[in-house]
Amino acid sequence: MREAAYNFAYLDEETKRMIRRAILKGVAVPGYQVPFASREMPMPYGWGTGGVQVTAACLVPEDCLKVIDQGADDTTNAVSIRKFFQRTAGVEVTERTAEATLIQTRHRIPEAPLSEGQILVYQVPIPEPLRFLEPSETETRKMHALQEYGVMHVKLYEDIARNGEIATSYAYPVKVEGRYVMDPSPIPKFDNPKLHRSSALQLFGAGREQRIYALPPYSAAVSLDFDDFPFAASKAPHDCDLCGAAESYLDEVIIDDAGGRMFVCSDADFCRTRREAGHAGQLAAGEAA
Amino acid sequence: MTPAALSGGFSDTSVQAARAFRAALDAMARPGKVVALAGATPPAPLSVAAGVLVLTLVDTTTPLYLAPSHDTKAVRDWITFHTGAPFVEPAAASFALGNWSSLLPLDRFSIGSAEYPDRAATLIVELASLAAPTARISGPGIAVQAGLALPEVAAFAENHALYPLGLDFFFTADDRLAALPRSTRVEAA
């Protein structure tokens, strides 16, 4: 039930129009970071204020919202954002990926393939992929204008020179539609292939850094690499200890003081759906006990 | 300002604007897709779709160019009362509204700069119908290929050649809306 004291989806209409115009320009120029006048939100920076503003601008009363934090629906960040929109927009919420029409995510892409009608909203801390290589905004803006991305390849090359492989394991840069290099937010590089030609619309909001960008459906998002060191999506070499999945991204969880550990799906809905379907990992019985 | 200008706006602004934006976003993210808009009854010759889009995206911070086909007192009064948008010449416009022939030539509008390609105008083009596709389009937002009713092909192909600069288009007919961002490749069907 929506609280009458708030405007629908919290933000005032003028702010929503400003964000909506930025989203449309972001969609028209995939991968380009559109500046926007980010607002103070009733939660701290780093809690997804960019994603929350994009979600607020996109929500309609008919939406079914899912919020995940590192794949889980039940962590503090996900729960508080979900409750925020239940109170201010009165929307339905779900933990099931397939039921959701809009999914706000912190640092994961759901394992289940997304569909045409879905929008995935990412919370982005540092939207500029070149920022740690070039601190000046004036310079990075010029580099994007000129497609001057050599410095990023040098960085990946230095990874190989030092570590024998591209050691970047999250926030792995992609080139969008052959034009803009884009930071996909700190998703594990395991998720990068899911960015590419997704059926869903993907929107990215960075609140503190005041940027919005987008990947329209079916857009090309190619992970940067070299012919002799091709991109490889990586994960822990285990099966999920609860559902037995071999193909999902895993979290490593310490389970006792003796260094014992288990690997479980990071995507909580994916794992539960598999367990409900009768799949079991090697520690599943222990969990039931 | 006539009393007619005061009516015909949204009755439940936040929800109607949210639904209209979501439809417009769907159209821009999936070029060729035709969506329906509702919630406003603007004065002629403004179509329902164009009127709803103006109420959803335009305000005091977005200079608007009214092309001669739509530059009537009734339309000006209605837009002024409901949005407060300043009316400007094409070069200064964030949005432009009119039928195709009165919006030409397109090189009067801002296409953005290399550093800020987002500072390009959005054109709202009123068409008679969106029903019969006249062009084949492909690019971001389109799985393989789609069709769209366009007033011509050459102008949109030239606009795409400017990418990542260029104009973005909404097309409106009655309550129907379609979009063509600069990223879309356009060929004759």
- The 3-class SS string of chain B reads CCHHHHCCCCCCHHHHHHHHHHHHHHHHHCCCCCEECCCCCCCCCCCHHHHHHHHHHCCCCCCEEECHHHCCHHHHHHHHHHHCCCECCHHHCCEEEEEHHHHCCHHHCCECCCCCCCCECEEEEECCCCCCCCEEEECCCCCCCEEECCCCCHHHHHHHHCCCCCCEEEEEECCEEEEECCCCEEEEC
With a threshold of 0.95, tell me whether the complex ipTM lies above it: yes
Q: Which of A73, A63, A75, A52 is nearest to A2 (CA)?
A: A63
Active site residue A265: yes
Write down the pLDDT at residue B84.
97
Encode pLDDT of A230-279 as tens digits: 999 999 999 999 999 999 999 999 999 999 999 999 999 999 999 999 99
Q: What are the φ/ψ torsions at residue A98 (nearest 5 degrees)? A: -70, -25
A9-24 core/surface letters (b: 16 or more CB in 10 A; e: else)? bbbebebbbbbbbbbb
Check CB contact of B22 with chain A, cutoff 8 Å.
Answer: yes
Query: Is the CB of A57 less than 8 angstroms away from the CB of B21?
Result: yes
Write down the pLDDT at residue B3.
87
Write down the pLDDT at residue B119.
98
In angstroms, rounded to a whole number, what is the distance separating the alpha carbons of residues A129 and A151?
Answer: 11
Query: Is the CB of A29 less than 8 angstroms away from the CB of B59?
Result: no
- A96, A269 in Cβ contact below 8 A? yes
Of the listed A26, A58, A243, A281, which one is catalytic? A243
Per-residue pLDDT band for A288 (boundaries 50, 70, 90) equals very low
Which positions in chain A touch B22 (Cβ < 8 Å)?
58, 60
Encode pLDDT of A120-171 as tens digits: 999 999 999 999 999 999 999 999 999 999 999 999 999 999 999 999 999 9
DSSP letter string, chain A: ---TTS-TTSS-HHHHHHHHHHHHHHHHSTT--EE--PPP-SS-TTSSHHHHHHHHHH--TT-EEEEEETTBSSSHHHHHHHHHHHHHH--EE-S-GGG-SEEEEES---SSPP-TT-EEEEE-S---TTTTT---HHHHHHHHHTT--HHHHHHHHHHHHHHSS----BS--EEETTTEEE---S-BGGGHHHHTT-SSEEEEEETTTTEEEEE-TT--EEEP--SSS-------SS--TTT--SSS-EEEEE-STTS-EEEEES-HHHHHHHHHTT---TTHHHHH-
Encode pLDDT of A51-101 as tens digits: 999 999 999 999 999 999 999 999 999 999 999 999 999 999 999 999 999
Close Cβ partners of B12 (under 8 Å, ≥ 6 residues apart): none
Which positions in chain B touch A57 (Cβ < 8 Å)?
21
Nearest to B181 among A9, A13, A28 (CB): A28
Give this prediction's pTM. Answer: 0.97
Could you tell me how many CB contacts below 8 A there are between chain A and chain B? 110
In angstroms, rounded to a whole number, what is the distance separating the alpha carbons of residues B39 and B81?
Answer: 16
Q: Is the pLDDT of residue A286 over 60?
A: no
- Closest CA–CA distance from residue A253 to any residue of chain B (Å): 39
Encode pLDDT of B114-168 as tens digits: 999 999 999 999 999 999 999 999 999 999 999 999 999 999 999 999 999 999 9
Q: Region of A244 please: left (phi>0), alpha (psi -120 to 50) or beta.
A: left
Interface test with A, best of B118, B162, B180 (most A CBs within 10 A): B118
Task: Kindly state the tokens that stand for B157.
Answer: 């192909």
Of the listed A50, A58, A71, A240, which one is catalytic? A240
Q: Which of A190, A196, A167, A170 is nearest to A245 (CA)?
A: A190
Would you give the distance in Å from CA B166 to the centre of its chain? 14
Write down the pLDDT at residue B31.
98
Q: Which fold has domain B3-188?
A: Rossmann fold (3.40.50)
Per-residue pLDDT band for A284 (boundaries 50, 70, 90) equals confident
- Closest CA–CA distance from residue B45 to any residue of chain A (Å): 24
- B133, B147 in Cβ contact below 8 A? yes
Chain B residue with minimal CA distance to A142? B115
Q: What are the φ/ψ torsions at residue B83 (nearest 5 degrees)? A: -125, -30
Encode pLDDT of B29-80 as tens digits: 999 999 999 999 999 999 999 999 999 999 999 999 999 999 999 999 999 9
Which positions in chain A touch B139 (Cβ < 8 Å)?
177
Q: Which of B45, B43, B37 is nearest to B4 (CA)?
A: B43
Check CB contact of B122 with chain A, cutoff 8 Å.
Answer: yes
Check CB contact of B36 with chain A, cutoff 8 Å.
Answer: no
Query: Is the CB of A28 less than 8 angstroms away from the CB of B182?
Result: yes
